[in-house]
Each structure stands twice: as structure tokens, then as C-alpha cells.
Amino acid sequence: MASFYTNFIFPLILLLTIFPYNSCAIESSELLINDLFESAKQPEFFNWLKSLRRKIHEYPELAFQEYKTSELIRNELDLLGIEYVWPVAKTGLVGTVGSGQEPWFGLRADMDALPMQEMVDSEYKSKNDGKMHACGHDAHVTMLLGAARLLQNRKDKLKGTVKLVFQPAEEGYAGASYMIEEGALDGVKAIFGMHVWPFIPTGIIGSKPGPIMAGAGRFTAIMHGKGGHAAIPHKAKDPILAVSMTVLALQQLVSRETDPLESRVLSVAFVDGGEAGNVIPESVKFGGTFRFLTSGSYSYLKQRIKEIIETEASVHQCTATVDFGEDLMRPYPPTLNDPTMYEHAKRVGAVLLGEENVTHGDITMGAEDFSFYSQKMSAAFFTIGAQNKTAAATGGVKGLHSPYFTLDEDVLPIGAALHAAVAMSYFDSLGQT
């Protein structure tokens, strides 16, 4: 027996490992990717995806309140026999598929909805008044559950471990940062995420290396003056005028203090003060958002916004308080695509959808808390086309966060397969030299 092993089996294994493996890796990974896509497109699988998405769509939940959504995910993972850690960051969870060995690769979906009333009529219209999945997170959860099933069916072929990251509170409340803080992603080497995109047709994905979405901060300020009769202004300290000058002064942060080749935004988005045409109010509240693509920008802009508001206040004999709201809503860093991870996901996307259907995505100054992962590990974030064909034909595409937002459910099997394929072939790619 021993000689049979040493003389025959052992050299054969050696030969197979060293010789034909590398040359076949690309081909076998193409077979794998196409096989994942075929499975995801099977009518039974597709119908399961649609029914999941519609259930989630019908009961949207806001940041850190995703209890039913989380329960639905756990039920599905239980049915699939996938273990998970729960709760993480209140309502979040992290499932585990694969060998249990390193490397660990993360796939991420966000679960929360928006505080707005749905205006789209469908049999699965939101039943939670004033809440709506207007940002497609229902599809994100569904696509990741789809990937979970595809991966679990091939768990013996996984040369590593996939962490299925279902996080709460992407919309403004930095759920991702709490997932990281609670250690749910410790040991994860790389991560992939997607956002459904209503502006590109289904079947097309897009991204780019480097910064892809902006970092974001917010501020709220109160300008305290002295109220009085509007016909006797010299007896008052007018906070309306002080705020007006402050709004103008703040604009210089972008036009005069930012490298013209860099991108930043500062928008004062609300001014709230005064009630009558003949009364100067005591105080005026105002605030807005600021966006940036480089990591040092947040602290710089924060300091300058505070200085400008306080200094303008004193010019007008007022006083001001400025609040950056960091305790409740953590500022988001920019989302940065690691060039290697980006290339990897792009290659997989090209096999799945055809080279011409992987496009160079635009940077947007919108923010996304996937950025917190991109600070900790190699990350790639892609937009995935989900344009409603009927709406596109009649020129009526509604954007994210619109009460009329709809998405093309044909995106679901594509996203499920892409998730699974990016993770599986990541492990295979590490096996190559």
C-alpha cells in the first residue's frame, strides 16, 4: 500500500498540483462564473429572489430598527444551513460559508430603508407608513441571500471563507462603522459591495479604481443675535443678515481654499429663522453638508466651517454655536476602491456580463458607509444597472431616494451571481502565481 502511494499516487498529485493547474485556473474560473450565473437564472431561483425582495420591500425599516428584515435573513440562512453571528450593531449579522479557513472574504449588503412615503402602486407597496425602500437596499439584501445560497451549494469548492455581512443603518447612521467596531469583520482580508443603479440598464455594471464616492460631514449652527422691531434695526443685532453673510463666506472654502483639481462640496441646505415681516428674530438656525474625496479633508473643513461661522457672527455682533452631530451621525470617509480588488471584480464582471458591459463608473459626491470597510481592508464597490426598461422607454427613470423609485428585478440574479463569483474566484486567484 505504501509503495503504491509513493510510487504512483504521490507523484501524480505532485504533477497535477505543479503542472496543469495554473494554466487552467482562468478557464476553470470562467466555467465556475458561468455556472453560478446559470444557477441564479433558473426560474425557481429567480422566483425565490423576487419573493424575498418583495417581502422586504413591503416592510421597510429605518436605520437600527431592521428587526423584521434581520429576522427574515436569519430564517433564510437557517433554511440554507448557514451559521451566523447575531446581533452585531443591534440588528446586523454576519454569516459564514466555506472552509472556515483563511483567507476570509466579505460580501456586504445594507438593510435599512428611508423615512419617506412610497408613491409607487404595486401589490408589494410599503405597508409601513412613511417608510420606503427607495434606495434599493431590499435588492441588496436579496442579492446577498442569493449569493449565500449559490455559495452554500458549492461550499466544498470554496478555498477560503466567505463572510456574509448584513449591516444596518447605511442611510446616514454609519452602520458599517459599528459592524467594524464590534469586531464582526476582524480577519476579513477583502470585501466587495454593490449598489443598484437606476441610471444604467440592467446587465451593465460600473466602477473605477481610487475614490468612487465622497466622504461626508454635516453641520448645524445657531446664530444668536438680538431681536427687535424691523423698522429699528440699530437697536437689534440682526442674525438674518449675519447668516446671509456667513452663507456667502462659507462658499469660499470650495472656491478659494480647495485645490481646483480636487473635488469638494459645501451646501448650506436649510436656513430657519424669523416669522414676521416686521420683526428681527432673536436667532436663526442653519446647516448643511460638506463632501470631499481625500482623507484629510474632513478635519480641515470642519475646523474652517467653525471658524468662519464664529468669526462672521462676531463681525455682526452676534454669537454662534456650531454642531457637527458626530455622536449621532458619524461622518463618512470617502469610498476608495483598492486598484487590485477593483481589477479582480472587473475581470469577474467581464466574464459574467461581457467585457463591453463593465463600464468605467463616474465618481459621485454622494456618500456611502461602505467607505468604512474600504479604510480597513482591500475593498471594491460597484454600481449595478437596475434600470426599469418600461420607465426608460418613456423617459421616466426615477432616481434613488425618489418616492417613485422602482427597480428592474432582473438585476437580482445578476447581483447574486456576481457576489458569489467575485468571492469564489478571489480565493482561486490567490492560488495562482
Ligand X SMILES: *[C@@H]1O[C@H](CO)[C@@H](O)[C@H](O)[C@H]1NC(C)=O
Q: Is 171 annotated as a binding residue?
A: yes
In sequence order, the 6+-apart residues with CB closer than 8 A to the CB of 170 are: 63, 110, 111, 112, 135, 137, 176, 368, 369, 370
Size of the site for ligand X (CB under 6 A): 12
Does position 356 interact with ligand X (CB under 6 A)? The reply is: yes
Q: Which of 357, 359, 375, 429 binds ligand X (CB under 6 A)?
A: 357
Stretch that binds ligand X, among 57-65, 265-273, 351-359, 373-381 (CB under 6 A): 351-359
How many Å apart are CA 422 and CA 403, to the nearest integer?
32
Give residue for cell 460559508.
97
Stretch that binds ligand X, among 208-216, 241-249, 402-410, 424-432 (CB under 6 A): 402-410
In which order are the strands placed within the sheet that holds 378-387?
83-88, 92-98, 161-167, 104-110, 188-201, 378-387, 205-207, 358-360
Does position 388 interact with ligand X (CB under 6 A)? The reply is: yes
Q: Which of 62, 245, 391, 400 binds ligand X (CB under 6 A)?
A: 391
Query: Closest CB to ligand X among 303 and 390?
Result: 390
* Closest separation in Å from C-beta 392 to ligand X: 9
* Closest separation in Å from C-beta 150 to ligand X: 20
Q: What angle do CA 58, 61, 66 make, to 5 degrees?
A: 120
- The closest of 383, 423, 48 to 195, measured between CA atoms, is 383
CB closest to ligand X, residue no: 354
Does position 30 interact with ligand X (CB under 6 A)? The reply is: no
Contacts of ligand X in 185-214 (CB under 6 A): 203
User: Please, are residues 103 and 160 in contact by the beta-carbon 8 Å criterion?
Assistant: yes
Q: Is 344 annotated as a binding residue?
A: no
Cell of 381: 464597490
How many Å apart are CA 175 and CA 195, to the nearest integer?
16
Query: Closest CB to ligand X among 186 and 356?
Result: 356
Q: Which of 396, 399, 401, 430 binds ligand X (CB under 6 A)?
A: 396
Does position 399 interact with ligand X (CB under 6 A)? The reply is: no
User: Please, are residues 337 and 381 in contact by the beta-carbon 8 Å criterion?
Assistant: yes
In sequence order, the 6+-apart residues with CB closer than 8 A to the CB of 316 are: 225, 237, 238, 239, 241, 242, 245
* Closest separation in Å from C-beta 408 to ligand X: 5
For ligand X, the binding residues (CB under 6 A) are: 203, 353-354, 356-357, 388, 390-391, 396, 406, 408-409
Binding residue ranges for Mn(2+): 135, 137, 171, 195, 401
Q: Which residues are annotated as a binding site?
A: 135, 137, 171, 195, 401
